[in-house]
Amino acid sequence: MSGIPVSEYRSGEPLFVKGHQAREMYFIVTGTVELIDGSRIERVSTGGVVGAVEFLRQIPYTTSALCVSKTSVIALNEDNLVEFLQSQPQLGVILLKSVAAQVPGAAEGEREVQREPEQKLPQGLMELFPAGHPTPEVRRPESDEEFLYAKAVECPVCGTSFSVLSIRESRLVTKQVCPDFRVINENFEPLWYHVWVCPSCLYAQSYNQFEKIRSTATGKISGLQQRYPLKGTFQFSSSRTLKEVFLSYFLMLRTLEMMDAPAVQFGNTWLRLLWLYEDLGEEKWAKQAAEKALKYFEEGVMSGVRSEAEDQRLFVIMAEICLRLGRLNEAMRYLREVVSMRGGNERYKRQASDRIQDLRSS
């Protein structure tokens, strides 16, 4: 190439951080970099340039840049930029075109070209879906960005660093709490962001459990991943679709199987799938999810050890699932269990008692 050295970065390493003074811009020789600004994530790959506008204007970086794969870059600054353009005129043209496309006020058509193309999920991963499963292309609303921010995490199984969208809990406003404890928020649905997926090994887990896995479980998962590898990689597109969300849940179910997770964890996963199917109006799939959730919860009641309050909450959820399945007598039995428990949570007792009265009068 030129006499300018090429720098190597590992996956998960930052090129620069938002707010720091721009001393350099980076020409990507190989690899992929994510530009992160709050919940906005833009990917730039081989032949692209990052940090150019800020460097040329001598202002602080307006985004953070995170390498999401092994990446090689040329760091260009005031000392070597002229040398680079003179020694590599063809690369210089590519660089200038890339910079021009980033300048604020560029033609709308030019910005349109740079939008992320629609993601086609690998067939090997699509096989995780049961036959006939809906694959909706519904995309997340742009208003979700208000409730999200990007953060870097490290996969506890394979060590890959990558970025995820995390929820700003403080901005959520509760609109309704359903009888099965589902929380409905104003203008935002957390179910779409509940699962984090490692793009390298496809370890998938709920956001609040992703990094809490025990070392014994990571070894078990790693071994099973090698024995039963999936064909293809997965990462949410910047404007994630409901199809991608469903796939993330099925990847999590696969992870739970590998780590031999407690039955209640499977039940909670199927309960969230039940809510998603209901939102989509898929009655057939909602019923199947309800049956699976109930089966796992019943198994969990028999095998797990919990506090009385945790058991009460579980019985309330099981009663609500039974009502969805038309099993009124079973629902009443679970609700009576909540009311008759010694100790526990008085709020759950009142909720169960009120629900019994509602069902008797309906």
Q: What is the DSSP string of 262-326?
A: -HHHHHHHHHHHHHHHHHHT-HHHHHHHHHHHHHHHHHHHHH----HHHHHHHHHHHHHHHHHTT
**Which of helix, strand or coil describes residue 318?**
helix
**Which of helix, strand or coil describes residue 109?**
helix
Q: What is the mean pLDDT of the chain?
A: 88
**Which of helix, strand or coil describes residue 289?**
helix
**Element holding 17 (H helix, E strand):** none
- Residue 252 confidence (pLDDT) above 80: yes
Q: Which of 1-15, 82-96, 166-180 has the highest mean pLDDT?
A: 166-180
Please state, in angstroms and rounded to a whole number, the distance separating the CA atoms of residues 229 and 223.
10
pLDDT value, residue 4: 79
Domain residue spans of the chain? 7-113, 126-361
Domain 7-113 CATH (choose: 3.40.30.10, 2.60.120.10, 1.25.40.10, 3.40.50.1820): 2.60.120.10
Please state, in angstroms and rounded to a whole number, the distance separating the CA atoms of residues 170 and 234.
29
Please state, in angstroms and rounded to a whole number, the distance separating the CA atoms of residues 75 and 2.
12
Q: How confident is the model at residue 107 (pLDDT cuts 50, 70, 90)?
A: very low
Q: How confident is the model at residue 118 (pLDDT cuts 50, 70, 90)?
A: low
Q: How confident is the model at residue 105 (pLDDT cuts 50, 70, 90)?
A: low
pLDDT value, residue 112: 41
> What percent of the chain is modeled with pLDDT above 90?
55
> What percent of the chain is modeled with pLDDT above 70?
93
- Summarised one tens digit per residue, pLDDT across range 155-169 is 999 988 888 889 999
pLDDT value, residue 114: 43
pLDDT value, residue 142: 83
| Tokens read off for 171 | 């901005």
CB 140, CB 165: distance < 8 Å? no
Q: Name every residue whose Cβ is closer than 8 Å to that of residue 244 and which is 6 or more positions away in sequence.
A: 119, 121, 234, 236, 237
State the first-to-last Cα distance of the chain, in angstroms, to the nearest integer. Answer: 78
pTM equals 0.75
Q: Name every residue whose Cβ is closer than 8 Å to that of residue 282 and which is 6 or more positions away in sequence.
A: 134
Give 113 or 242, the one with higher predicted confidence. 242
Q: Considering only 168-172, 246-250, 270-274, which range has the smallest mean pLDDT?
A: 168-172
CB 206, CB 94: distance < 8 Å? no
| Residues 112-122, mean pLDDT to the nearest whole number | 59
**Which of helix, strand or coil describes residue 168?**
coil
| Residues 198-204, mean pLDDT to the nearest whole number | 93
N residues, the chain: 362
- Residue 303 confidence (pLDDT) above 90: no
CA-nearest of 189, 355, 201 to 279 is 189
pLDDT value, residue 356: 96
Q: Considering only 32-36, 174-178, 260-264, which range has the smallest mean pLDDT?
A: 32-36
Q: How confident is the model at residue 323 (pLDDT cuts 50, 70, 90)?
A: very high
Q: Considering only 101-115, 276-290, 314-328, which range has the smallest mean pLDDT?
A: 101-115
Q: How confident is the model at residue 102 (pLDDT cuts 50, 70, 90)?
A: low
